Amino acid sequence: MSQPHLSLLAGLLLAGLALTATAQDKKAVTPAEMNYQAGGSPLGNEAMYQSTNPKAPPMTQAEFDLARKTYFERCAGCHGVLRKGATGKPLTPDITLGKGTDYLKVFIAYGSPAGMPNWLTSGEMDEKTVDVMARYIQHDAPVPPEFGMAQIKQTWKVIVPPAQRPTKKMNNYNIENIFSTTLRDTGEVALIDGDTKKIINIVKTGYAVHISRTSASGRYLFVIGRDAKINMIDLWMPTPDNVAEVRIGLEARSVDTSKYKGKEGDFTDKLAIAGAYWPPQYVIMDGDTLEPKKIVSTRGMVVGTQEYHPEPRVASIVASHFKPEFVVNVKETGKTLMVDYSNLDALKVTEIGSAPFLHDGGWDSTKRYFMVAANNSNKISVIDAKEGKLAALVDVGKIPHPGRGANFIHPTFGPVWATGHLGDETISLIGTDPKGHKAQAFKQVAVLKGPGGGALFIKSHPKSTHLYSDSPLNPDPKVSQSVVVFDIKNLDKGYVTLPIAEWADLKDDGAKRVVQPEYNKAGDEVWFSVWSAKNKQSALVVVDDKTLKLKAVIKDPKLITPTGHFNVYNTQHDVY
């Protein structure tokens, strides 16, 4: 179908859509949302079973390969690996065949009021790709392989056995002030000395490390790539490096270690846990070696509708400070699982339902309440880790994305936890003090206005009077290349803008997106990644928190696509 005919049909279809769109439908997909949802999946490179549907329009092998690659780069995050629906609607042949190729091309090209991006008119796809995708989604979805204990153990490697590791710290680094910085596109993390601002080591890891987590003791650093590879780094070694690795699936996001020490026993550093996007499962491992011990599937029923979901992805995981439990958040089913790890042979799991699409989050200042974003439900779920129950479900802005969030003392409302949003310019403040400020507890008590949508991370520190927010996915370079800072003691005066990318003084035309504020241990510096493409120069920028002035710029040819970074001490103690 030519562009003019496609445009005419689009007008007719979208006019009908405008009449039938419900109040719950999103009015538009912002560029920030599109950039976020279109994150690539490593599953596009996996061999998959593919059946040919005789009713579907024909495709050549080359077209199928292009479509599968495009789907996992652009569509799987919303519609799911099996195309059975996630944050987006199902795209299975029983639905798509009845629509037909021309109809599907219009939706792919122009989007819809219900949230479908306009892939053609945004410039993200050309007409050929739109046509190929319209035919592809009428075929049966290719099925990735499962990844069970046999497959996991084949990937498990102990590089330095525990008996051969140092018995004491063998370097002069201030380990508590080391930063672990993700080098997204090279499959590495950079370990950087926070005192000297020098790179200690570039460590080989999985692809696009999503998070770094410090063990309860502070000795080990655990990182997990989007390809589900976990690396365990010993910070006591003369040069900190890998001592064990394992792959717990084909795509993943989360890892943590046991922290509890109490009447049930001392579980410090005893266990590690990781959650997978595919297969939908979490894996509990030995904390010294990463040897896999237990695999638990998360397939099951969705909160509310009680409909079966075949691929509920494991999002954030944290370790409880009150019980020997891991707090496992499952995206599509909207469930938080309190996994009692005190006896793996008789595993006990408490299931807490809240709202679908649970994603990331962090503890309140007391570390009792876990505040987790149900992003496409536009809510924050408050999990009481002490009582093992849902404390509240708080309505916030469009697509909350807090990272770990930010805790601080509000001049009026007392202790609050804050989140920014991908889909709008707001920052929501939620009261977290049910004893001292009962009337405000677990309610949205205030809304700040930021520079625009596309925010990923927000951060403060107990020793700071500032609140920082980034917006790296905002389409305006002036916004994405800077951060905003609020004065906690005078929030009503609005924010000041720090031109972080300009301060980096990079000499090429890279994207220079500024991402993830992270404090040093002392709480007097804030570090930012200035993230450009793999073939462009990137940097880290360090800001003096007291003066909001530039303190240092870290440049090195080895700092390729830096994104998230994590201070060892703050990560170990959940300081944010």
Vertex 447 angle, CA 441 and 448, to 5°: 135
Is 116 catalytic? The answer is yes
| Percent over 90 (pLDDT), the chain | 85
Q: Which residue has the tokens 């499959």?
A: 187
Is 210 catalytic? The answer is no
Looking at residue 43, what is its pLDDT?
86
Pairing mode, strands 308-309 and 300-301: antiparallel
Which residues make Cβ contacts (< 8 Å) with residue 557, sequence separation at least 6? none
Which residues make Cβ contacts (< 8 Å) with residue 56, sequence separation at least 6? 93, 97, 135, 138, 139, 140
Catalytic residue among 34, 79, 133, 410: 79
Residue 433 Cα distances to 163, 322, 397, 408, 445, angstroms: 46, 17, 21, 11, 12
Contact 9, 2 (CB under 8 A): no
Is 321 catalytic? The answer is no
In order, the DSSP letters of 283-325 are: EEEETTT--EEEEEE--EEPTTT--EES---EEEEEE-SSSSE
pLDDT per residue as tens digits for the range 105-139: 999 999 877 678 889 988 889 999 999 999 999 99
Looking at residue 42, what is its pLDDT?
85
pLDDT per residue as tens digits for the range 502-546: 999 998 889 999 999 999 999 999 999 999 999 999 999 999 999
Is 5 catalytic? The answer is no
Q: Which residue has the tokens 């849902």?
A: 390
Burial of 435 (0-12, 13-18, 19+ CB in 10 A): exposed
Catalytic residue among 210, 309, 359, 466: 359
Q: Is 135 helix (H, G, I), strand (E, B) or coil?
A: helix
Catalytic residue among 309, 321, 401, 437: 401
Range name among 84-88, 296-300, 552-556 with the lowest pLDDT average = 84-88
Is 573 catalytic? The answer is no
Looking at residue 4, what is its pLDDT?
45
| Alpha carbons 332 and 97: distance in angstroms, whole number | 25
Looking at residue 9, what is its pLDDT?
46
Is 34 catalytic? The answer is no
